[in-house]
Homo-oligomer: A and B are copies of this chain.
Amino acid sequence: MEQLGNATFENYVGLTQGLSEMGYQMVAHVLTLGYAVMLAGLFYFILTIKTVAPKYRTSSVLSVVVMVSAFLLLYAQAQNWTNSFVFDVERGRYFLGDGVDLFNNGYRYLNWLIDVPMLLFQILFVVSLTKSKFSSIRNQFWFSGTGMILTGYVGQFYEVTNLVAFAAWGTISTLFFIHILILMKRVINEGKEGIPASAQKALNTIWYLFLFSWMLYPGAFLMPHLAGIEGALFGEAGIVGRQLTYTIADVTSKVIYGIMLTIVAQILSQKEGYEQK
């Protein structure tokens, strides 16, 4: 352990017991699926931008911003995986390579630094707030969104080497997260007032989708410890499970969420007499 410094879980397992071919490959595939979905989503949001009235298009533009940044950072994350572990023919498993790079989930975190504020702002361009002030909600989203990511980013460096630091940073990050949940619930409740029933229903779905997808991230943060940091099978299951969880969370919280917001904006545009030329 000494020699790993601020080890992450993946490097610890990769140095000690190594990864089975299946485990290593599943992560490589899932990471590739992740960035491919983002590039596909990019085209979707560009090509559907004119299906909504001009005032709602900022939501699509922000989805595009999210897709581009997520595509690039998840691509770097996938490259980081394949560059860090090498197959050892003698031992028949993948091990952390010597003289190469270490694996670190930090690319994801810095992607969220862009995406989290954008995803939170996005809904404000679709719904109409009845009581809250746009700029106040936006600033609170920005503050707690970046706070949540930066504290989580620092925390993840300590997941193996310093459990107290890991838990402390994780707890601060969770407090920001709870604040975001409270704000989002308020935005959705106000947004449902006076809009067609189909749009209300879609906003309800967005709330449950938001709750489900964003709750996956703290789960992935804790994964090495949920799966048991010791033990051959569990160690590897934790690694594969974490990248699977992150990818499901990314696809639902960025792509499906953006599509649902586009649907709400389409219903509202139609109601206001907008017709695509």
Residues of chain A having any CB pair with chain B under 8 Å: 2-7, 15, 20-22, 25-26, 28-30, 32-33, 35-37, 39-44, 46-49, 51, 54, 57, 60-61, 64-66, 68-69, 72-73, 76, 82, 86-93, 96-102, 104, 106-107, 109-111, 113-114, 157, 276-277
Contact = CB atoms under 8 A, between A and B. Distances in A.
Nearest to A82: B101
A253 B69 CA distance: 19
Nearest to A54: B276
B43 A64 contact: yes
Contacts of A26: 106
A114 B33 contact: yes
Contact of A64 (B35, B47, B65, B91): B47
B20 A109 contact: no
Contacts of A113: 33
A113 to B, nearest CB: 7
Contacts of A7: 21
A90 B37 contact: no
Contacts of A88: 98-99
